[in-house]
């Protein structure tokens, strides 16, 4: 009478820090890994039989182990290896997803120059890597998604918003000069592997930031479309870019209500940065 339809299980937010210490100048990699398996797991739900279920604790152990055994390449190589491991070695998992959020650390600079083994955390922006693996052998399919999350970016001019549709509830004024601020979540899907995963990420991120900065915006919608195109232009292996961007409103503060003399001007200089609500714009741009 009732059917189990879509289902999956895994381990969320495994926080793995890998130190590379073969040379005096160490390197650091800070990963938050989520693993997910799909496959022949219905019995675990319907009868409680766990004989086909690889514990999420084991998935966690494996994620840490692969940090050593498969940690020398790019984060994408790690995620690919881990996702492939699950579908290749687990007879019951037909599909696996490995998502990695990469926290940034900046090397400390002291009087002696760049320090060998000390870093300061950089955020809130994080690099995103996700691999979907399905099947085994020749028919195995591997999809790689890259991206960024929480890339908070703001331009203080070069942004307009006017000529919009109005109805009886519309009170918003039109403007030809406003702050445009957002926190971009972007996912870009690779149709083929690039020669260098890190170079591809750097190029995509630079294109995103550059398009936001240099495009004179008539709306956040338009800026997103420009960003999507710029990212696809920058990395030929990409086939699609998905963008989610809240419009983080900065309201010009109205000083005209004060009786202070002389009156205080506010020519787009002092803003209240509001928290909620926010606009929320989403767009996917695809290579035709």
Q: Which is nearer to a second copy, 80 or 180 (CB)?
A: 180
Rounded to 5 degrees, φ, ψ at 214 are -95, -20
- Binding part of the chain for a second copy, among 75-83, 87-95, 137-145, 189-197 by CB under 8 A, reads 87-95
Rounded to 5 degrees, φ, ψ at 237 are -75, -10
Pull the structure tokens for residue 150: 């929480």
Q: Does 259 bind a second copy (CB under 8 A)?
A: yes
Query: Is residue 11 annotated as part of the catalytic site, yes or no?
Result: yes
Interaction residues for a second copy, span 38-67 (CB under 8 A): 41, 44-58, 60-62, 64-65, 67
Of residues 11, 60, 242, 250, which has the active-site annotation?
11
Pull the structure tokens for residue 7: 């289902």
Query: Of these, 18, 74, 81, 94, which contacts a second copy (CB under 8 A)?
Result: 18
Q: At its nearest, how many Å lie between a second copy and the CB of residue 186?
A: 13
Query: Is residue 162 annotated as part of the catalytic site, yes or no?
Result: no
Interaction residues for a second copy, span 145-204 (CB under 8 A): 151-158, 161-172, 179
Please compute, for residue 9, the number of CA atoms within 13 A of its CA located in the half-sphere on the CB side. Answer: 17
Interaction residues for a second copy, span 109-138 (CB under 8 A): 110-112, 115, 117-125
Interaction residues for a second copy, span 94-113 (CB under 8 A): 105, 108, 110-112
Query: Is residue 182 annotated as part of the catalytic site, yes or no?
Result: no
b/e code 134-164 from CB counts within 10 Å (16+ = b)? beeeeeeebebbbbbbebebebeebbbbeee
Q: Does 9 bind a second copy (CB under 8 A)?
A: yes
CA distance 286 to 283: 10
CA distances (Å), 163 to each of 12, 13, 107, in order? Answer: 45, 44, 47
With tokens 């797991």, the residue in question is 41
In this structure, how many other beta carbons lie within 10 angstroms of the beta carbon of residue 279? 14
Of residues 32, 34, 56, 244, which has the active-site annotation?
56
Q: At its nearest, how many Å lie between a second copy and the CB of residue 42?
A: 9
CA distance 119 to 74: 20
* Number of chain positions touching a second copy (CB under 8 A): 143
Q: Does 23 bind a second copy (CB under 8 A)?
A: no
Interaction residues for a second copy, span 195-254 (CB under 8 A): 206, 209-210, 212-214, 217-219, 221-222, 224-225, 228-229, 232, 240, 242, 246-247, 250, 253
Pull the structure tokens for residue 227: 């960003």
Q: Is the peptide bond before 277 cis (omega within 30 degrees of 0)?
A: yes
CA distance 55 to 257: 63
Of residues 26, 52, 70, 249, which has the active-site annotation?
249
Which residues does the annotation mark as catalytic?
A: 11, 56, 249
């Amino acid at each position: 009478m009732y059917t189990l339809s879509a289902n999956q299980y895994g381990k969320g937010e495994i926080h793995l820090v890998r130190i590379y210490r073969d040379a005096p100048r160490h390197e650091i990699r800070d990963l938050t890994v989520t693993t997910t398996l799909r496959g022949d797991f219905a019995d675990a739900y319907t009868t409680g039989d766990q004989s086909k279920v690889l514990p999420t604790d084991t998935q966690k152990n494996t994620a840490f182990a692969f940090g050593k055994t498969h940690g020398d390449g790019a984060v994408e190589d790690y995620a690919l290896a881990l996702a492939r491991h699950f579908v290749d070695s687990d007879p019951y998992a037909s599909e696996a997803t490995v998502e990695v959020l990469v926290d940034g650390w900046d090397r400390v600079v002291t009087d002696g120059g760049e320090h060998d083994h000390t870093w300061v955390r950089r955020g809130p922006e994080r690099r995103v890597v996700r691999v979907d693996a399905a099947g085994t052998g020749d028919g195995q399919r591997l999809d790689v998604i890259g991206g960024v999350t929480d890339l908070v970016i703001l331009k203080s001019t070069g942004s307009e918003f006017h000529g919009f549709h109005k109805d009886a509830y519309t009170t918003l004024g039109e403007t030809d000069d406003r702050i445009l601020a957002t926190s971009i979540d972007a996912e870009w899907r690779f149709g083929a592997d690039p020669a260098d995963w890190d170079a591809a990420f750097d190029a995509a991120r630079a294109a995103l930031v550059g398009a936001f900065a240099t495009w004179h915006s008539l709306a956040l919608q338009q800026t997103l479309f420009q960003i999507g195109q710029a990212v696809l232009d920058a990395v030929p292996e990409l086939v699609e870019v998905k963008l989610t961007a809240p419009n983080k409103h900065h309201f010009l503060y109205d000083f005209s209500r004060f009786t202070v003399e002389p009156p205080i001007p506010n020519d787009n200089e002092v803003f209240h940065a509001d928290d909620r609500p926010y606009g929320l714009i989403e767009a996917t741009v695809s290579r035709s």
